[in-house]
Structure 1
Amino acid sequence: MAKLDLSSTTLAALIVGGALMGMVHPGLAQELKVAAPPKEHHHPHHHKNHSRAPTAGAPSAGLPEEAYLDSTPESIQDYIDNCTENVSPICGEEIVGSLFGTRNVSIPCCYQLLNIGMECHTAVVNVFAGLPDVKQGAPIIRANSHKVFNAASKKLGRTANLRPRPLLSADP
């Protein structure tokens, strides 16, 4: 099984304050045994400057992760970029690691997780779980995602300052 590298930004991706591929840190990726993409790997959710992935059946250029992320609908990419913008890279790493059961989510990161909300968390997890190097563990990752969110809520006594986030628009 390969290892995930979410070091370009939030969950910093999952991943996380940015986006999905920024979430997994190279060291964590090695621990999870997911192949880390080369350092020139671009932020996965800034596709406005990238061409879309080829249609099904056509050979894809670049890394399988890039092809998969490029095939994700732009509305989902934009939603994830927007809803994870306030998740720090450190918290993205903690959250992603917790999906594999290798990390605990700290109290400050519990606040960040609860502030993005279950809808955002689920969207990120669903895209993350579809990555080629992670796909085999998708059922466990998805099951753990609910446990992680509920544990964060319990840890904070459900007192986090939650605020609704717009689906596709930026905060005012």
Structure 2
Amino acid sequence: MSARSTRAYPRTMKRALALGLVTGQFLLLAALAFLPHGTLWATNVGVIVAAIALGLVGAVLVVLGVVGLGSALTASPIPRAEAQLVTTGVYGLLRSPIYAGLMTGGVALVLVGASAWHVVAWIVLVGLLSMKTRWEERMLVAEHSDYRSYGARVGRFVPGVGRLVSGE
């Protein structure tokens, strides 16, 4: 592991960063929901049907992720002390189903919003959630001895894609 990934942050700095990341993700999701509608593409029936389908897939991923974590659930990327590592259910397919669901739901909002600002907000959301996930996973590797082997088998946001490799 690199020195960066093993660095111990002071507790207050960790909490402040976690709060900033969570706040940022909710602000970006709100932006996707409330930005003015654009005209980059027509929001015809096909686009609306695709948005509804993606929105439902995103919602299902979020709900399955929340339910699957049970008592290990926290809004913060900082893992709960003494929480068991969850690798079953949707977590057997994706390491970060909640974030994958938020990204998928975000695509639905981009389709309906049809503006360049929606696209930019979604790209920033994906970047933020990717950064948040990598930080969270460094803490999970430190907390759970079997996380690295789990991460080598299971994709991050898409099944089979984004598996951990040595040194990550």
User: TM-score by structure 1 length?
Assistant: 0.37
Q: Which has the higher contact order (CA 8 A, sep 6+)?
A: 2
Say which structure is richer in helix. 2
Q: Which has the larger radius of gyration?
A: 2
